[in-house]
Amino acid sequence: MSKARSNALHTTARVALAASDFASLERIARELEKSGLSAGDQDDVGFAHYYLGVTHFWRGDRSAAEDEYRKGLEIFKRLQDREGIAEVMVAQAAIPLHFDLDAETARHRYEAALPAVRQTAEPKLLAIALGRLGEVCHYSADYESALGYAMESANTFLALEMPASAGVQFVNVAHVHTLRREYAAARDAMRRARDCLWQKPTTRRVAYYLEMCVTFTAALHQWETAARLLAFVNRYRYDYDVPRSALPPWFTENVERISARFTTERQAELEREGEALTLEDVPEVIARVALDAPR
C-alpha cells in the first residue's frame, strides 16, 4: 500500500471516530490491517488494532476492546512508536471507569500514561488525557483536581479549534459545580457546553449534555421538569441508537428520586410530555430552571 493511501485511511478513520461512526471506523480499520499486513507495515497494523479497540469499546464489548488494545500496544512497543504507545495507553485507561466505575484503577492508568503523552508533544492527545483524568478525579470526589484538569483540557481543545470536545469538558465542569452547590457557576458552564456542542453536534455528546440537564434540574428539586427531561433523553438515546455505558451513581440516584416523586399515572403523563419535547426546546427549559437557581 502506498504511503498516500495509508495516510488517507488514517484520515478517514479519524473523521469516522470524531463523528462516532463506528461502522465506518471498523470497515476502515480492517482495510488498514489487511493492507498493512500485506505491505509489512506494522505501524498501520498497530493503528488498525487501536481503531478496532475503540470500536469495540463504544459498542460495549470490553473483552474485544482490551484484546485489540493489547495487540496494538505490543506492536507499538516493538516499533518504539511513542505516539502509538501513548494513544493506546490513554484508551486502555478508559476501560475501568467506563465498564466498572473503577475510578482508582482508571486514575492510576491515566497517571501512568501522562509521561508517554507528554513525550509526544501532541496537544490533542494531552487534552484528551487531561479531560479523562479530570473525570476519574470527579468520580473520586477530588473536585479541585477534577475542575483543574477539565478546564485545562477544555481550553486546550478550544485552542485546537475543537469546540465539541471542549463542550464535553464544560459538561464535566458543570457537574462538579452542581455537586458543590455552586449553581451559578454550573449554569454558566452548561451554557458554554451547549454553545460548544451545538457547533458540531454528535448524538453521543448531545446525550451526555442532556443527562447533565437532568442532573442539574434534579439538584434544584425541579422534579416535574427533571422527569420530562429524563423521558426526553431516554427517547433521544432510543431514536438515535446511542448506547449507555455503566450509569454513574449520581445519575442512578436522580432517576430513583424522580420515580419516587410521582404516582404511576402522573409519571406516565410527564413521560409523554417529555417525549414531545424537541432538542431545540431543551436550552429554553434549562434557562427557565436556572432562573430559580440560588445565586
- 60: alpha, beta or left, given left = phi > 0 and alpha = psi -120 to 50? left
Which residues of the chain carry a pLDDT beneath 70? 1-2, 245-247, 293-295
Q: What are phi and psi of 122, to 5 degrees?
A: -105, 105
Q: Provide the pLDDT for residue 1.
A: 55
Q: Provide the pLDDT for residue 261.
A: 94
Q: Provide the pLDDT for residue 2.
A: 66
Q: Provide the pLDDT for residue 19.
A: 83
Q: Provide the pLDDT for residue 118.
A: 87
Please give the distance of CA 178 from its chain centroid, rounded to a whole number: 19
Three-state SS for 49-62 is HHHHHHHHHHCCCH
Q: Provide the pLDDT for residue 295.
A: 60
